Amino acid sequence: MSDNFDENETVLEGNGDGDITYEEDNYDQNGIVSEGEESDEEAQQMTCTEIMGEMLKIWNNQNLAPDLLMHRYEIVDALLEMVKQEKEKVLDMDIEYGKKPKPVTYAIRKMEISRIEYMVKSYINKRLQLIEEHPLHYLNIDTKLRNEGKEELLDYRERNHCKKYVEIYDELMVDNILSRLEGIFAAKPVAAKHPVYPRVIAKVVDESLRQLEIPDYNSPGTTSFHDVELHNIYAIPWIAVKDHVDSGRVDLM
């Protein structure tokens, strides 16, 4: 996917809490970016191209993962803000040129907007599909992580959707089925999510990752360590790389 957004026009800056805000670059009257003191905030700045690359990475990993990964909606929201500004530019070009022939950049911008919107929708839909298969399972995990002050599994919008989904499911189940049964048969069934141990194709992308801990299925409860190398590709149990995919040290293929 090409990155046709103007990389020098805007940057996205992290606030240290995982959120990203959209800011204009500091240009002087001659169009040159003014120099400022180096700071931690400047080190956290992400260009439009970097945001696109990060979105492509998390989209690919979530589509290939057999389980729900930690949400990255700070990237999604930043990308949607970029799309919003690009749509405004396309609208300005519509007004400026009217029925006259438009420059090539007009078509390129519209194409990139469509590509980005497809990628974002695909990422969100894949996550919702997994959530709706086992809503209570993921809701409980997210609640536990929040109570422990750890990174959240669900974005607040996903969490609200999950709660509403469970409420509607319970209401329909009680009204249409359970209310007609008696005794223990009227209890709400809860389908537990059984652990899955599929193999995935994984590529090591962080040089600090030197070993992977792999469960030994011949001896339940035991594990073994295997050396890995940067940029090498492995067919490996999902449970051995899940945390590394979440942390960005491993990409799925």
In this structure, the answer to whether residues 101 and 157 fall within a common structural domain is: no
83, 53: one domain: yes
Asked if residue 144 and residue 120 are part of one domain, the reply reads: no
Domain of residue 213, CATH code: 3.40.5
**203 in the same domain as 178:** no
Residues lower than pLDDT 50 in the chain: 1-44
Q: Please tell me whether residues 79 and 155 are part of one structural domain.
A: no
Q: With respect to residue 203, please indicate whether it lies within any of the assigned structural domains.
A: yes
Q: Are residues 219 and 177 in the same domain?
A: no
Q: Does any domain span residue 92?
A: yes
Asked whether residue 79 is domain-assigned, the answer is yes
In a domain? residue 114: yes
Q: Which of 92, 107, 133 is the last residue of a domain?
A: 133
Residue 20 lies in a domain: no
Quote the pLDDT of residue 216. 82
Q: What is the pLDDT of residue 2?
A: 40
Q: What is the pLDDT of residue 191?
A: 66
pLDDT digits (tens, 9 = 90+) for 20-55: 333 333 333 333 333 333 433 433 477 888 999 999
> Would residue 124 count as lying in a domain?
yes
Residue 8 placed within a domain: no
Q: Is the domain of 111 the same as that of 83?
A: yes
Is 28 a member of any domain? Answer: no
**Looking at the structure, do residues 174 and 156 belong to the same domain, yes or no?**
yes
Q: Are residues 54 and 118 in the same domain?
A: yes
Q: How many domains does the chain have?
A: 3
Looking at residue 107, which CATH number applies to its domain?
A: 1.20.58.1030
The region that residue 184 occupies, defined by phi over 0 for left and psi between -120 and 50 for alpha, beta otherwise, is alpha
Question: How close are the terminal C-alpha atoms of the chain, in Å?
Answer: 17
SS3 of the chain: the string is CCCCCCCCCEEEEECCCCCEEEEECCECCCCCECCCCCCHHHHCEEEHHHHHHHHHHHHHHHHHCCCCCCCCHHHHHHHHHHHHHHHHHHHHHHHHHCCCCCCHHHHHHHHHHHHHHHHHHHHHHHHHHHHHHCHHHHHHHHHHHHHCCCCCCCCHHHHHHHHHHHHHHHHHHHHHCHHHCCHHHHCCCCCCCCCCCCEEEEEECCCCCCEEEEECCCCCCCEEEEECCCCCEEEEEHHHHHHHHHHCCEEEC
Same domain for 88 and 59: yes
Whether residues 97 and 128 fall in one domain: yes
Give the residue numbers spanning the domain of 140. 134-187
> With a threshold of 0.85, does the pTM exceed it?
no
Same structural domain, 63 and 83: yes
The residue among 142, 164, 187 that closes a domain is: 187
pLDDT at 195: 66
Q: Are 252 and 57 a contacting pair, CB within 8 Å?
A: no
